[in-house]
Copies of this chain bind each other. A is one copy, B any other.
Amino acid sequence: MAETKKTTIVLFSGDYDKAMAAYIIANGAAAYDHEVTIFHTFWGLNALRKDEPIQTKKGFMEKMFGKMMPRGADKMGLSKMNFAGMGPKMIKGVMKKHNAMPLPDLIEMAQEQGVKLVACTMTMDLLGLQQEELLDGLDYAGVAAYLADAEEGNVNLFI
């Protein structure tokens, strides 16, 4: 019997286009029966935020970060040609035209395919993000759990 292949992605970036690339690779790998983990850290956590404001108790700095960072996948900017938000509109326009899945749908698909979505607890602390602000069905872990997955991985990417 063939061993299950493993794919891990560290999603560090908070850019719409980079997160799209991460989720397209993850969904592809899951379709080929890989065990796939996306470990969201730093700005990559923003892809997992719910889009509505959530009441939480936070310190001043944590509130500031919470306000300045995009609330969820659909609000993220582009790594190139962002043009103060025009770029994402253009990209989403051509994506619709070509029937490409927008990022929130890619994330939902990943969850349905059993891709393990992990939120890095250490950077959640730093950026003041709390579990209630993030999507349901996530795992919460640190770098040790990531390394345990990655050292058995066939494809390990940092995006």
Partner of A93 from B42, B61, B150 at Cβ < 8 Å: B61
- Given contacts A18-B12, A90-B61, A125-B98, whether A153 and B155 have CB atoms under 8 Å apart is yes
Q: Which of chain B's residues have a CB closer than 8 A to the CB of A13?
A: 79
Binds B, one of A28-36, A47-55, A130-138: A28-36
Q: Give Cα distance in the complex from A14 to B87, angstroms.
A: 15
Contact A42 B17 (CB under 8 A): yes
Q: Could you tell me which residues of chain A, from 42 to 101, have a CB within 8 Å of some CB in chain B?
A: 42-43, 59, 61-62, 64-65, 68-69, 79-81, 90-91, 93-95, 97-98, 100
Closest to A99 in B: B125
Minimum CB–CB distance from A17 to chain B (whole Å) comes to: 6
Q: Which of chain B's residues have a CB closer than 8 A to the CB of A95?
A: 126
Minimum CB–CB distance from A48 to chain B (whole Å) comes to: 16
Contact B94 A24 (CB under 8 A): no
Question: Would you call A1 an interface residue if the criterion is a C-beta within 8 Å of the partner chain's C-beta atoms?
Answer: no
Q: Name 17 A/B residue pairs within 8 A (Cβ), A-sorted.
A: A10-B25, A12-B21, A13-B79, A21-B41, A43-B79, A43-B80, A65-B90, A65-B94, A94-B126, A94-B127, A98-B126, A147-B155, A150-B154, A150-B155, A152-B154, A156-B157, A157-B158
Query: Which 5 residue pairs spanning A and B have beta carbons closest together?
Result: A157-B158, A28-B143, A150-B155, A151-B154, A98-B125
